[in-house]
Structure 1
Amino acid sequence: MKSLMPRDGRVGGGWLTLFAVAWLAVWTVQLTPVQLLLPLQLDTPGGQNDWITGVVWSGLILSVGGIAGVIAGPLAGMLSDRTRSRWGRRRPWAIGGSALTAASLLLTGAATEPLAVGAAWIGVSVGIAVVSAALTAMIADQVFAQRGTASAFVSSAQAVGIVVGVGAVVLLGLGIGASYAVLAVFILVVGVGTAVLLPDPPASWEHPPAERPQHATTHRDWRERLGVLRDRNFMWVLASRLTVNIGNALGTALLLFFLLYGVGSPAATAEDDLLVLIVIYTIFVVAASLVAGSLSDRTGRRKPIVIVAALVQALSAVMILVSPTFVGTAIAAGVMGVGYGAYMAVSLALATDLLPRVEDHARDLGIVNVSASLGQLLGPLLGAGLVALVGGFWLLFLVAGVLSVIGAVMTVAVHPARVSRQPHPAVR
């Protein structure tokens, strides 16, 4: 593990590989149920003519889980910032979050009623939020010159995770219970394994008591600790990530329902069609995130890439509105992958550049994670309402495009400093 320690703010291929694998597990166990398993569990509870009820239940359950993650992510991040164990600061939380996620996945797979599914899914959402807060903090703790690249691995793993999870379920013909069991084992083994192997250097930001200003007050200390949430640029980035992710979720989270009841794919082939779209989407997400992340590292300019990427995602929604066919949706999936992959990679690096206090990295990046995950989980609720309102999907994609444009406009208001390439003394 010593060879994995960062040097001068740079990490090697081994560190990046383990980091990517950890995120692959996180995204696989979160998004496979979102994209496939939960819709299958909740579809047509009242028969084939009651499909909108299944859409509404999916939206409600995912959104309640999102609210739980909103609370759990920053809280776990704040606690990990202050954890002083011989196992490190981030590692205990990554291990505990992985265990909670695995147990909750098993409960979700065993549930048969919507309320029971929703209760178990809250545990999954909390566990994922805890693991994500610990992993994201490692970028701020250990990576400086490669933040765009490291962030690209996060967004790439998100797209690949969907393919791994949905592909395994569809190609192996797994039932719902078996699928959740496989996901539980995956996050437990990979989550714990990567948490043990990734370095977790001790915090070096603490000042000895004698060095602390004697005149500091509790009130002033709390104002300092909340400083990032009072920073205008940081808040614009959070708002943009929330908005763009809601737009993305509108275009992806209800995709199986769109294929069945919007495009008209036969029930026997809908899962296969979904897998094809996910593969197309994944290829472009991975390529765009790696290229955009590397480009932002070389140039030190994140903001223009983020703006263009959000607008490209908006274009994909327009394409589906114009051509709501399987072929049209497949082309739009590639375009959406380009926009979303570049956006997520570079916007995370942009948010990391804006962090003011090293002692609050995990808490602040937990909030950054929440802005994205909350968007992904609120999207289905909004989408379900839009579908129920008009009895179809056109309004859903119209709103998805508008929100993506709004996210781009929000980023225009950000005025970040150029990328800092100097590591904190803790990781030199």
Structure 2
Amino acid sequence: MVHYIRDDVSMSDCGVGRGMKVPTSEQGFFGRQDRCWLLTFCLAWSGTATALFGPIQILLPNQLEHLAPGNKEGALAWVLSVGALISMFVNPIAGAFSDRTVSRSGPRLPWITGGTLLGLAGLVALGLARDVVQVAVLWCAVQAALNASWSALSALVPDRVPDRKRGAVAGYIGLSQVVGIAFAALLATIFPGVFGYFACAAFLAILVTPLLLADRRLKLGYGPARRGSDLRSFVAGFWIDPRRFPDFSWAWLARLLINLSNALALTYTLYFLRDELHVVNAEKGVLLLGSVNLAAVVLSVVLAGYASDKLGRRKVFVVASSLVMAAASAMIAIRPTWPVVVACAFALGIGFGIYTSVDFALITQVLPASDSRGQSMGTLNIASSLPQVLAPAIAAPIVTAGSGYPMLYGLSSIVAVSGAILVAQIASVR
């Protein structure tokens, strides 16, 4: 049986098992046990990011260029789009099931474990794919498995961390994600082709295992499984009325636009360096830009999270970071040269570092109900997955029709500004 939290403790402030210290807002977070748990959580987040983004950045583009040399842009757009479409549906569904799961290790851990194991198998098989259809099918399987795990991981934060500490925690999570993405580029550069997929799978297994062992040892519970699990209530739970929860809707739309802006800027990075800037070794170019971006994120992500906690403000950070990212994309559109791209990679890192930490904290404060956090976080994660469907469909005709990369990056800038405007409409969070 799951060890549930005590009835007299607020669900929004705790997430540990019976008989353990509860991290309420008065007691705070970041005790020794909390720090150990956060370390294992960040390792798991980083490993999952490596497995998800390693193929997207280098491995899939190179694999599809080999399998479909005459239509590499279209093939990549198709594969990424169907994979993102799958993840868009899996995220809220897996989150909803994790809300209702009862197990000895708590409701989230079975989904993290199962998703990770299936993702490992999918990555290994993906490296061995021999045509575009096989790549698409296996990438969909990897996306489904790892997004099921990602959805349960996302729900652990509102489960366990009190509101006033979520900015700092989200900062560490954001740093972990960017480290995972940068390490994915490094793995894909050092281990090309099939060995790159094997390396990403191995990294995923190594970094997720400590969280699985720690949570099983601590027997953490995150509240009772959600009641009312009949099919009708299950399906109805996916609709979150914007009239009742307007701030959730604004946060969802803003996240959609800001992530779409980011996806438009990043989807064809390898091809942009190779075909537009004529970089001799585009893979190393992607690695260098990733390193510059990572350095900028390291400077901003954790500090921004702590600052938002200290000031008790979220929106101003998210709006400012969106505008920084918009300015960087606009500069690439106006002057697409290698020095400008490197400088803008740094600016994008500063903006994304601030955004990824504070926005994560913000969205956890607009969730509709404490007993459906997995489902609600999964629904919010659609706003991260849907841009991966939209961006290739939007970007491919712009690039191949002759309008070129300047128009693509200009559009990215406009979309980021639109997202910043929507963030400002959120009323319940300062």
- Tell me which of 145, 148, 156 is aligned to 1:127: 145
Amino acid at match of 1:167: L
Alpha carbons of structure 1 residues 376 and 154: separation in structure 2 relative to 1, 3 Å: farther
- Whether contact under 8 Å (2:58, 2:270) holds in the other structure is yes
CA apart distance, 1:218: 11
CA apart distance, 1:56: 1.6
Q: Percent same amino acid among aligned pairs?
A: 28
Alignment correspondent of 2:424:
412
Cα deviations by residue, 1:302-355 (Å, 9 ceiling, x for unpaired): 011111111110001111122211111000101111112211211111110111
Cα deviations by residue, 1:151-199 (Å, 9 ceiling, x for unpaired): 22222222111221211332x3x23111111212222332243223135
Alpha carbons of structure 1 residues 316 and 192: separation in structure 2 relative to 1, 3 Å: same
Write out aligned runs for 1:37-186 (5 A).
37-43=59-65, 45=67, 47=69, 50=70, 53-144=71-162, 145-170=164-189, 172=190, 174-186=191-203
Alignment correspondent of 2:339:
327
- Whether contact under 8 Å (1:228, 1:355) holds in the other structure is no
Cα deviations by residue, 1:68-127 (Å, 9 ceiling, x for unpaired): 111111111111111111121101000001011111111111102111101000011111
Amino acid at match of 1:112: R
Alpha carbons of structure 1 residues 402 and 346: separation in structure 2 relative to 1, 3 Å: same
Alignment correspondent of 1:424:
none
What TM-score comes out, normalization by structure 1 length? Answer: 0.87
In structure 1, what is the Cα distance between the partners aligned to 2:181 and 2:43? 13
Alpha carbons of structure 1 residues 231 and 180: separation in structure 2 relative to 1, 3 Å: same
- Tell me which of 311, 335, 341 is aligned to 2:323: 311
In structure 2, the residue corresponding to 1:366 is in which secondary structure? helix
Gaps of 5+ in 1: 419-428
Alignment correspondent of 1:7:
23
Cα deviations by residue, 1:273-317 (Å, 9 ceiling, x for unpaired): 111111001111232221211111111110111111111100011
Alignment correspondent of 2:6:
none
Alignment correspondent of 1:355:
367
Computed over aligned residues only, the root mean square deviation of the Cα atoms, in angstroms, reads 2.6
Alpha carbons of structure 1 residues 391 and 356: separation in structure 2 relative to 1, 3 Å: closer
In structure 2, the residue corresponding to 1:354 is in which secondary structure? coil
In structure 2, what is the Cα distance between the partners aligned to 1:222 and 1:117? 31
In structure 2, what is the Cα distance between the partners aligned to 1:378 and 1:386? 13
In structure 2, what is the Cα distance between the partners aligned to 1:68 and 1:191? 22
- Whether contact under 8 Å (1:91, 1:196) holds in the other structure is no
- Tell me which of 165, 187, 197 is aligned to 2:204: 187
Alpha carbons of structure 1 residues 206 and 102: separation in structure 2 relative to 1, 3 Å: closer
In structure 1, what is the Cα distance between the partners aligned to 2:150 and 2:92? 10
- Whether contact under 8 Å (2:258, 2:416) holds in the other structure is yes
Write out aligned runs for 1:17-32 (5 A).
17-32=39-54
- Tell me which of 254, 263, 266 is aligned to 2:277: 263
In structure 2, what is the Cα distance between the partners aligned to 1:309 and 1:99? 35
CA apart distance, 1:46: 5.6
Gaps of 5+ in 2: 1-15
CA apart distance, 1:200: 5.9
In structure 2, what is the Cα distance between the partners aligned to 1:298 and 1:317? 30
Structure 1 position 202 matched with structure 2 position 221: yes
Alignment correspondent of 2:58:
36
In structure 2, the residue corresponding to 1:265 is in which secondary structure? coil
Which has the higher mean CA deviation after the structures are superposed, 217-226 or 66-75?
Answer: 217-226
Structure 1 position 392 matched with structure 2 position 408: no
CA apart distance, 1:356: 2.9
In structure 1, what is the Cα distance between the partners aligned to 2:273 and 2:118? 33
CA apart distance, 1:222: 8.1
* Residue-pair matches, total: 403
In structure 1, the residue corresponding to 2:82 is in which secondary structure? helix
In structure 1, the residue corresponding to 2:310 is in which secondary structure? helix
In structure 2, what is the Cα distance between the partners aligned to 1:195 and 1:290? 25
Cα deviations by residue, 1:250-271 (Å, 9 ceiling, x for unpaired): 11221110000011112xx221
- Whether contact under 8 Å (1:248, 1:376) holds in the other structure is no
In structure 1, the residue corresponding to 2:279 is in which secondary structure? coil
In structure 2, the residue corresponding to 1:393 is in which secondary structure? helix
- Whether contact under 8 Å (2:187, 2:200) holds in the other structure is no
